[in-house]
């Protein structure tokens, strides 16, 4: 910028950010704004204020008294022509105020869905670019095998990739079937699923850390558990705790005779 010459860009920016001057003739036209609002809708309450939008354009705000519209305001925009005194109604609208009761922001269903929410009879499509999956033929390092599998469509079309397996493993491990679950912490320290005869290891890279419980009497029956999970139904539980009648703690016998009737 040359010395003594104003910066035109800075001046323009200052002009754009300068608050417009409130037109007094339009600001005083409260009754006209109210009439316009009452013609357009119902539930017009007290006048809340007026704001300048631009040169010779203002917006009057009125309280909305309709049930269910707490904090909403009726807005009436007034304007006038240059050198004219009469105000003209541009538009009316119902707008939310700073503390208005509003519906929550829309979230796509795919982002709202939580684990385990797909119920009986419901269908959940999997995205083509799901980060957890990859084409099955990519598991082979042999180009010839990949070409044949792709052409003939052998096996599953997609399988879980390393990222998907790691995500599932972490979720299971941190959940109710991992080592920190209350049932596992209450079980004998040595009664871990990995040494239980009812533990069926999973296939592939998961078999060292996870398996399915097949004990009919366990609350984990039919569920995937971590190898260091545990419960009181371990196949060798008698080796870890005294299960003889003398070693089993019995509850105190309580007699309830309040409901009895003497005949």
What is the reported pLDDT for 259? 64
Place of tokens 């320290």: 189
Domain ranges of the chain: 24-96, 175-226
Q: What is the DSSP letter of 127?
A: P
Question: Quick one: tokens of 208?
Answer: 């060292």
Residue 138's Cβ-side half-sphere holds a number of Cα atoms within 13 Å equal to 9
DSSP conformation letters of 150-162: HHHT-S-SEEE-H
Rounded-to-integer distance, Cα 118 and Cα 136, Å: 25
164 DSSP 8-state letter = H
pLDDT (tens place) for every residue of the chain, 263 residues total: 445 545 555 555 555 667 888 999 999 999 999 999 999 989 999 999 999 999 999 999 999 999 989 999 999 999 999 888 899 999 999 999 988 988 888 888 777 877 777 666 766 677 777 877 877 766 655 666 666 666 665 667 788 888 888 999 999 999 999 999 999 999 889 999 999 999 999 988 889 999 999 999 899 999 999 999 999 889 988 888 765 655 545 556 666 666 666 66
Amino acid 2: pLDDT: 47
pLDDT at 1: 47
Q: Specify whether the CB–CB gap between 109 and 123 falls below 8 A.
A: no
Structure tokens at 250: 């019995």
**Alpha carbon distance 175, 231 (integer Å):** 15
At residue 169, the pLDDT reads: 94
Number of other CB atoms surrounding residue 100 within 10 Å: 14
Residues 6 or more apart whose CB falls under 8 angstroms from that of 70 comprise 99, 100, 101
Pairing label, strands 72-79, 158-160: unpaired
Please give the sequence-ordered ranges of beta strands (E in DSSP) within 20-71, or none if there are none: 44-54, 57-64
Per-residue pLDDT at 116:
72
CA 67 to chain centre: 29
What sign does the CA torsion over 106, 109, 110, 115 have? Answer: positive
């Amino acid at each position: 910028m040359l010395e003594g010459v104003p910066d035109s860009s800075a001046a323009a920016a200052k002009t754009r950010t300068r608050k417009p001057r409130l037109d007094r003739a339009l600001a005083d036209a409260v009754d006209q704004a109210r009439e316009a609002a009452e013609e357009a809708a119902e539930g017009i309450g007290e006048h809340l204020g007026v704001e300048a939008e631009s040169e010779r354009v203002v917006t009057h705000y009125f309280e909305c008294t309709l049930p269910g519209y707490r904090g909403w305001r009726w807005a009436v925009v007034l304007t006038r022509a240059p050198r004219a005194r009469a105000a003209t109604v541009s538009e009316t609208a119902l707008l939310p105020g700073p503390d208005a009761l509003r519906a929550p922001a829309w979230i796509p269903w795919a982002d709202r869905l939580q684990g385990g929410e797909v119920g009986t009879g419901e269908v959940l499509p999997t995205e083509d670019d799901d980060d957890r999956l990859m084409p099955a033929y990519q598991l082979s390092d042999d180009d010839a095998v990949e070409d044949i599998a792709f052409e003939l469509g052998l096996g599953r079309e997609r399988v879980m990739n390393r990222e998907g397996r790691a995500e599932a493993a972490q979720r299971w491990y941190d959940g109710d079937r991992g080592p920190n679950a209350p049932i596992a912490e209450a079980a004998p320290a040595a009664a871990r699923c990995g040494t239980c005869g009812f533990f069926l290891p999973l296939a592939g890279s998961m078999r060292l850390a996870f398996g399915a419980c097949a004990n009919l009497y366990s609350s984990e029956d039919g569920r995937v558990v971590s190898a260091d999970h545990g419960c009181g139904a371990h196949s060798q539980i008698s080796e870890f705790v005294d299960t003889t009648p003398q070693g089993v703690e019995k509850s105190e016998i309580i007699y309830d005779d309040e409901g009895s009737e003497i005949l």
